[in-house]
Amino acid sequence: MRKWTLALLLSLALLCVPLGGQAEGAGLSTNAGTSPDAVSSPTDTAPPELDLSPTAAPEATPAPQSLPPVSDAPLLESPPLHLNCAAALLMEADSGQIIFQMNADSPRPVASVTKVMTILLTLEQLDAGRVSAEDVVTVSESAAGMGGSQVLLDVGEQQNIGTLLKTMIVGSANDAAVALAETLYGSEALCAEAMNRRAEELGMANTHFVNCTGLPADGQHTTARDVAVMSRQMFAHARYFDYSTVWMEDIDHGDGRVTQLVNTNKLLKLYDGCDGGKTGSTNEAGYCVSATAQRGGMRLIAVVLGAASGKERFAIAQQMLDYGFANYRQYPVARRGTKVRGQLPVTGGKRDGVSLVLDGDLTLLVNKGDEQRVQLSPSLPESVAAPIDAGDVVGHVDVNVDGRGVAQIPIVAGESVEARGLPLRRIWENWVGRF
């Protein structure tokens, strides 16, 4: 009888544990260009505001995540330039923001620009450690027999993966592309399947690959947007630029023959800051290029498809890059770990509030002088219920430019908050277990 009495008293104690106070409303539109006030004290449970002080730091570091996705809507409704080509697109590489585009989603052949995906898959295999640049490849009959642009590989010739990758990037070598495809995937057909899987992962909805070279093939096509997407991924690999900046080099075939490799991307010599890109041309595709240049820490990608001549494709790309660098700059909107001023009320917890931090880095492309048009608006619930773990997502920040939503940044709990009464519940369970 005494044990039942004690158990009843414990249950009454649990029922009498007070819950957290009434929740207060949260959410305040914040101008990213204004100077924030000081960070609130830990006991302050006022509605949170963004504190963009560069010294702000989280009490608990959230787990790393990918960059917040930004809107794929172009910053300009129509190109500000006359573009004498079939399709074009100008993109900022870090954020993936599109400055302007023309016929960006029209499927068409792109000739050797197709090799951007072949190069990307090779770079990913190298960075994953599945293969090494020093691994030796024996050239097959099918690889050596490829037409079009070549580095003139012989059947049975041995070259390492790094050399083959270089000849594909610099000289657009079809024989090297097939040799790599066979080494990495077993056959060119299996490589094409891998290329399509990767395209699907990247959201390249209007792309289909049949081969790894870009030689004419029924059913093979892509778009200016999709070329920019896969080019952006390729340019994200530092190893790529070890090869893309080579202007001229001799390739030793090991039997006394030497092939001179000359970069097909003439913008390396013509355009200040250009350090990479991929060219392509066939009668069907016209003259194409996906070129990149970096100035002042900002990297742009210019895609030109279906130009009338090789000289014209480079001239159009130059004009596009010039416009981007002249009119836009990168604006650091937020960084992971920035504190949100104030605390979010917690119900049923050992603490009445929880601190909040941003869980994403975001740099946007803005027209020079328009930084004040970037607005940050936190979206948070009135309260959260304990228990809470550090890093739990509790809301987000809407990033708007001129009222147009361009991104969302997650807001996470800066520390853990235990629920009240858990020790008493454990005592209750221990007592109940004895009956």
CB 84 within 8 A of CB 379: no
Q: Which of 112, 231, 244, 281 is catalytic?
A: 112
Which letter, b or e, does each residue of 261-300 get, where b requires 16 or more Cβ atoms within 10 Å of its Cβ?
A: bebbbbbbeebeebbbbbbbbbeebbbbbbbbbbeeebbb
* Residue 416 annotated in active site: no
- What's the length of the chain? 435
Q: What is the pTM of this model?
A: 0.77
pLDDT value of residue 60: 35
Q: What is the pLDDT along the chain (435 residues), one digit of tens a residue?
A: 444 333 333 333 333 333 333 333 333 334 444 333 322 333 334 445 544 433 333 333 333 344 566 777 898 999 999 999 999 999 999 989 999 999 999 999 999 999 999 999 999 999 999 999 999 999 999 999 998 999 999 999 999 999 999 999 999 999 999 999 999 999 999 999 999 999 999 999 999 999 999 999 999 999 999 999 999 999 999 999 999 999 999 999 999 999 999 999 999 999 999 999 999 999 999 999 999 999 999 999 999 999 999 999 999 999 999 999 999 998 888 888 888 888 999 999 999 999 999 998 888 888 888 888 888 888 999 999 999 999 999 999 999 887 788 888 999 999 999 998 755 555 554 555 544
DSSP 21: -
CB under 8 Å to 15, separation ≥6 — which residues? none
Q: Which of 40, 172, 244, 281 is catalytic?
A: 172
pLDDT value of residue 423: 56
pLDDT value of residue 1: 43
CA distances from 14 to 21, 305, 350, 430 (A): 17, 70, 14, 14
Q: Could you give all domains of the chain from N- to C-terminal order, each with its CATH number?
A: 13-64+336-422 (2.60.410.10), 87-329 (3.40.710.10)
* Residue 166 annotated in active site: no
CB under 8 Å to 90, separation ≥6 — which residues? 98, 99, 100, 101, 300, 301, 302, 303, 320, 321, 323, 324
| Burial zone of 32 (CB within 10 Å; 0-12 exposed, 13-18 middle, 19+ buried) | buried
Report which secondary-structure segment, H or E, holds 179: helix 174-185
* Residue 115 annotated in active site: yes
Q: Which of 40, 115, 140, 290 is catalytic?
A: 115
pLDDT value of residue 3: 40
CB 60 within 8 A of CB 414: yes
pLDDT value of residue 73: 84
